[in-house]
Structure 1
Amino acid sequence: MKAFIALLAAVSAASAHYTFPDFIQNGAVSTDWQYVRETANHYSNGPVTDVNDPEFRCYELDLQNTAGQTGVATVSAGDTVGFKGYSKLKPMQNGAIYHPGYLDVYMTKADPAADSPEAGTGQSWFKVWEDAPTYANGQLTFPSTSITDFTFTIPKSLPNGQYLIRGEQIALHVASTYGGAQFYIGCAQVEVTNGGSGTPGPLVAIPGVYTGYEPGILINIYNVPSNFTGYQAPGPAVWQG
């Protein structure tokens, strides 16, 4: 049965894709690509699979021009923000995020500005939220499967300024070989107000945060080893603020 499920996942992998075009702020949803940099997969909905590709940062349609063509949302520390998904394959479900996988959100202080192509190009990213698979009774459970959106709270102690918010799902349905994991990415441009004096960290570079060989990226979710004790989230620990 596990082999049959894995085969079905592989067969559907070429068409079952999505994007994160809409920014959510305290329940209000933006228009497509209003505050999220339009991604290169805006039409195909296909994923990024190379963790070393410059496009792995925000998957922009144009690495030089997309940032300046995207608006900057004003948000407040403590706001609930996030992304709404869209899928050409399942538009009637409002873009359900239906691949099993791991969800997380990174942020970076944007220098010189959120709508500049240089933003986020250094070792400046920190993780602020994650939704990891759980493991019990010999099986992995994926809470992020078949959802339409995901949100998190901007830490109250985050300093004021312009930031990029990078939502990422690592889809693991065909991740048993190197390069099989699929990354679905969206970067929103924001200006944070009413913040605090926290020091976000640890800081990582994107690309550079992953090698692709992490046990949370290179994994057969349908046949975990006998000594498996639980999913290991890739990347740095979440900054709690």
Structure 2
Amino acid sequence: MSERSDMNSHGPVLDVSLLDIRCGKDASTAFAPGILSVAAGQSLGFVVDPSIQHPGPSLAYLAKVPAGKTAANWDGSGAVWFKVWEQGPTALNSNGGNWPSSGLKTLNFTIPKATPSGDYLARIEHIGLHAASQKNGAQFYLSCGQVTVTGGGSGTPGPLVSFPGAYSATDPGILIQIYYPVPTSYTIPGPKVWTG
């Protein structure tokens, strides 16, 4: 996959109202030239460097490139993003919880079989919650890549959201104390997952 560049930092985005929340710092102007082909119903992965080190959820979104644009020149603006995968905690405890993505160097998710064929931006995200007890304390590690979905279906993906716009700094899954008192539940930010 051709990943959009983050030339300045591997650091997180902290403010969900900034354009950086879409694809990472400066990624809306740092387009990559290539595109990866992936069949609907197949797995797509992003390499994480370094490995995921903070407790928190992982999520994946797709956005279909509009007519007249290509994945290489479209910035992903508008209410066009739909969530295709999320991974929350398997347990909550005073150590910050058990998160399946902890320590991983690759995040993989499946392109729903009903996804229409065409060019898309794929957005991967991990939200570090270790400092999320204060506003703008959650850390968003994210990136986008360019893919062509082949062999797709006739589904209608949704709900559709925009970045920025999908999240609020005070959403319960973003502004949260995960250590003490131990939360009794966790709500992953964003819309419901579209499974096709």
Which of 12, 34, 39 aligns to 1:71? It is 34
Structure 1 match to 2:48:
85
Which of 178, 187, 192 aligns to 1:232? It is 187
Between the aligned partners of 2:194 and 2:119, the Cα distance in structure 1 is 18
Displacement after TM superposition at 1:101 (Å)? 0.8
| Deviation sequence 1:176-221 (CA, Å, 0-9, x none) | 1000000001101011110000010111111100011111111111
Runs of 4+ in structure 1 off by over 6 angstroms are none
Between the aligned partners of 2:25 and 2:55, the Cα distance in structure 1 is 24
Between the aligned partners of 1:96 and 1:137, the Cα distance in structure 2 is 22
Displacement after TM superposition at 1:61 (Å)? 3.5
Gaps of 5+ in 2: none
Between the aligned partners of 2:84 and 2:169, the Cα distance in structure 1 is 21
Relative to 1, partners in 2 of residues 1:77 and 1:138: Cα closer, same or farther, differing over 3 Å? same
Gaps of 5+ in 1: 1-22, 24-34, 87-94
CA radius of gyration, larger in: 1
Relative to 1, partners in 2 of residues 1:190 and 1:146: Cα closer, same or farther, differing over 3 Å? same
Larger RCO of the pair (alpha carbons < 8 Å, separation 6+): 2
Q: Please state whether the residue corresponding to 2:3 is helix, strand or coil.
A: coil
8 A Cα contact 2:54 2:128, kept in partner: yes
Q: Please state whether the residue corresponding to 2:28 is helix, strand or coil.
A: coil
Displacement after TM superposition at 1:60 (Å)? 4.9
Does structure 1 residue 164 correspond to structure 2 residue 121?
yes
Between the aligned partners of 1:146 and 1:158, the Cα distance in structure 2 is 30
8 A Cα contact 2:40 2:111, kept in partner: yes
> How well do the aligned residues superpose, as a CA RMSD in angstroms?
1.7
Between the aligned partners of 1:60 and 1:193, the Cα distance in structure 2 is 29
Structure 2 match to 1:132:
88
Which of 76, 79, 103 aligns to 1:123? It is 79
Between the aligned partners of 2:102 and 2:15, the Cα distance in structure 1 is 23
Between Structure 1 and Structure 2, the one with more helix by share is 1
Relative to 1, partners in 2 of residues 1:40 and 1:177: Cα closer, same or farther, differing over 3 Å? farther
Relative to 1, partners in 2 of residues 1:77 and 1:146: Cα closer, same or farther, differing over 3 Å? same
Displacement after TM superposition at 1:78 (Å)? 1.5
Query: Greater CA deviation, 109-118 or 131-140?
Result: 131-140
TM-score normalized by the length of structure 1: 0.75
| One-letter identity of the residue aligned with 2:79 | Q
Q: Please state whether the residue corresponding to 1:195 is helix, strand or coil.
A: coil
The percentage of aligned residue pairs carrying the same residue is 47
Q: How many correspondences in the alignment?
A: 193
TM-score normalized by the length of structure 2: 0.92
| Deviation sequence 1:27-52 (CA, Å, 0-9, x none) | xxxxxxxx1101144xx311101101
Between the aligned partners of 1:167 and 1:193, the Cα distance in structure 2 is 20
| One-letter identity of the residue aligned with 1:99 | H
Displacement after TM superposition at 1:153 (Å)? 1.0
Between the aligned partners of 1:108 and 1:167, the Cα distance in structure 2 is 12
Q: How does 1:90-239 map to 2 (within 5 A)?
A: 95-111=50-66, 112-118=69-75, 120-135=76-91, 140-224=97-181, 228-239=183-194
